[in-house]
Amino acid sequence: MLLAVSEGSKQNAALPETIKLVMYAEPSHVDGFLFSASAQPNTVPDRAAVFRLGLQSMLGLFLAPLGRSGAKFHRPLSCSSRLEHGLIIILPGIEGCSSVNDSIARGLVAGQLSHAIQIIDWRRFRPWNPLHLAMQRHNRTQARVVAELIVNYQRDFPGQPVHLIGHSAGAGMALFVLEQLREDQAVTSVTLLSAAISRRFDVERLLGRTTAGIWNFYSPLDLPTVGIGTMLFGTMDRRHAVSAGALGFLTQNRSSMFSEDSQQQRPRLNQIPYQKSMARSWNFGGHFGSTNAVFVRDNIVPICRRC
């Protein structure tokens, strides 16, 4: 049951419906996953449950063409009690809010995080279309709106963590959001999955807009989508080239500019290439492998938990 839009922000009330912070009455469970603020991950995972979770996420990809109607799991995850413990914003690819990013939300809940979880559909129109990559003015405007949402949340819930998770084109949007924050504003962490943004994008200059750093999960096995695909249709920063989601970012190694003590305190860019062992978490290296709920539980939840 819908209760209210987050109070204390008239600007938030004027935002498009898809990017409001909406609070729902808190259920006792969501599709079989219990969650509470004090919950901790089980030390001995149930193999059968993990198998069902991974298989459910994989089969759920077939529901992606249904869009928002096939993504219902995340809807109760912005309840007021969760907002009090932090906020995770998921920015989807050109498919928009769908079962793909709903699977990310499943993995976060399976890892028993207590944060509120929002999927923000930033696209200009709904159909799954590579033209979304080229709409620079619209994309930058939406990034500014998301940045304002974050600032409003941090004002209403001071001291609580804010994490951004972007998949494919949504990873580019996550970086655009960082660009819209002032130098004295920051989110906690940013996680990029199969990022459809060029390898030469200067991601290191945005590390100061985070308190913990940026994680980039990339896979050479994803070259058909964020390699050939972005060479044909372009990346989010409008380069026709192989993306950072396939081969990682080309960095300038600015760490030499700082002392050793300063380097240890500064947020870092963590580039994580695909490894065969990730297949145990149902990530087989393709474009949607990193969105599988088991992979999210095993690899992204620890980032959000320790930051």
Contact (Cβ atoms closer than 8 angstroms) between residue 165 and residue 301:
no
Dihedral angle computed from the Cα positions of residues 154, 137, 122 and 200, in that order, rounded to the nearest 10 degrees: -80
Largest CA distance in the chain: 53
Pick from 59-63, 121-125, 179-183, 251-255: least confident = 251-255
Domain coverage including residue 95: 2-306
pLDDT of 45 reads 64
Cα separation, 240 vs 228, whole angstroms: 9
Contact (Cβ atoms closer than 8 angstroms) between residue 167 and residue 121:
no
Domain count, the chain: 1
pLDDT tens per residue across span 247-295: 999 998 654 444 444 455 689 999 999 999 999 999 999 999 999 999 9
Model pTM?
Answer: 0.84
Q: What is the CA radius of gyration of the chain?
A: 18
pLDDT of 264 reads 57
Q: What average pLDDT does this structure show over 52-71?
A: 94
Cα separation, 245 vs 273, whole angstroms: 9
| CATH (domain of 118) | 3.40.50.1820
